[in-house]
Amino acid sequence: MSTQKQRGFGIDIGGSGIKGAPVDLEKGRFAEERTRIATPQPATPEAVAEVVKEILDHYGWDGPFGCTFPAVVQHGVTRTAANVDDSWIDCDAAKLLRKVTGREAVLVNDADAAGVAEVEYGAAGPDAGVVLVTTLGTGIGSALVVRGTLVPNTEFGHIEVDGHDGESRAADSARDREELSWEEWGERLTRYYRTLENLVWPDLIVVGGGVSKKFDRWSEHVHIRTPITPAKLLNEAGIVGAALLAHRA
Ligand code: BGC
């Protein structure tokens, strides 16, 4: 049984929901069922920080916590806002989270957090070489991991593919919005990943995000040279990775 010592806490700030759970750091999975609260609108940093506090209070968690954010995060400062409120640009969000919650906070890009979790518990360990972790959701997140070391904020969701912002046509939200079949979406992913593999030449591509659960339905339609595999932690990876980073800090 896990002791309190081997526990961490992770929170995932998303455009539609804010989710959090205590994490078993030995096993790399949730230690209790996660909680989800709808993201307040407008999703200003202050309003979101209040929800983060509510989730921590709900579990009675007083220790340091890790928090993912769907944009560039440099040293606790959020730099971009592709799918979130513009008021996050250049916000010292880690500082704000500390102030509002009264706990130590580590803030990290959502895909980078997933990458860290896949290194520790999943498919991106040091033996895997150069691994590209991508999360397919509202946008496309990326984490580049080189022999177990993360290169943060790669932002490969925004590479140009056929004259478009990559994620605008290949994210899972594009599949939904345009009502694409698995096969049609597979063609989009093929274009996206072929462009990316020619830039990075990874040894392995790991796919996270909610749709990684349905990997078998669409992966047969993705024709690329690099081996591709679903994230071992599926869509728990962000929360688990954030909790691990906060624990290490
Ligand atoms: C953002 C990334 C983020 C990804 C997934 C992109 O639009 O630019 O920072 O990791 O969405 O949420």
Tell me the pLDDT band of 5, cut-offs 50, 70 and 90: low
What residue ranges define each of the domains in the chain, with the CATH number in brackets? 2-108 (3.30.420.40), 123-231 (3.30.420.40)
* pLDDT at residue 1, rounded to an integer: 45
Q: Which residue has the tokens 């290490």?
A: 248
pTM to 2 decimal places: 0.95
DSSP result, 12-59: EE-SSEEEEEEEETTTTEESS--EEEEPPSS--HHHHHHHHHHHHHHH
Beta carbon of 208 within 6 Å of any ligand 1 atom: no
**pLDDT > 80? residue 4:** no
Q: Ligand 1, closest atom to CA 153?
A: 9
Beta carbon of 107 within 6 Å of any ligand 1 atom: no
* pLDDT at residue 2, rounded to an integer: 44
Q: Whose CA is nearest to atom 8 of ligand 1?
A: 71
Point out which residues pair with 140 in neighbouring strands: 136
Dump pLDDT digits (tens) for 113-167: 999 999 999 988 888 899 999 999 999 999 999 999 999 999 999 999 999 999 9
Q: Whose CA is nearest to atom 10 of ligand 1?
A: 141
Beta carbon of 155 within 6 Å of any ligand 1 atom: yes
Bigger pLDDT: 21 vs 234: 21
Kind and range of the H or E run holding 69: strand 65-69
Average pLDDT of the residues of the chain: 95
Mark residue 179 as left, alpha or beta (left: phi above 0; alpha: psi -120 to 50; beta: remaining): left
Dump pLDDT digits (tens) for 162-200: 999 999 999 999 999 999 999 999 999 999 999 999 999
Tell me the pLDDT band of 110, cut-offs 50, 70 and 90: very high
Q: Whose CA is nearest to atom 5 of ligand 1?
A: 141
* pLDDT at residue 126, rounded to an integer: 85
Q: Ligand 1, closest atom to CA 112?
A: 10
Q: Please answer whether residues 124 and 228 qualify as being in contact, where contact means their C-beta atoms are separated by less than 8 angstroms.
A: no
Distance, CA 22 to ligand 1 centroid (Å)? 24
Dump pLDDT digits (tens) for 48-57: 999 999 999 9
**pLDDT > 70? residue 21:** yes
Tell me the pLDDT band of 239, cut-offs 50, 70 and 90: very high
Amino acid at site 72: V
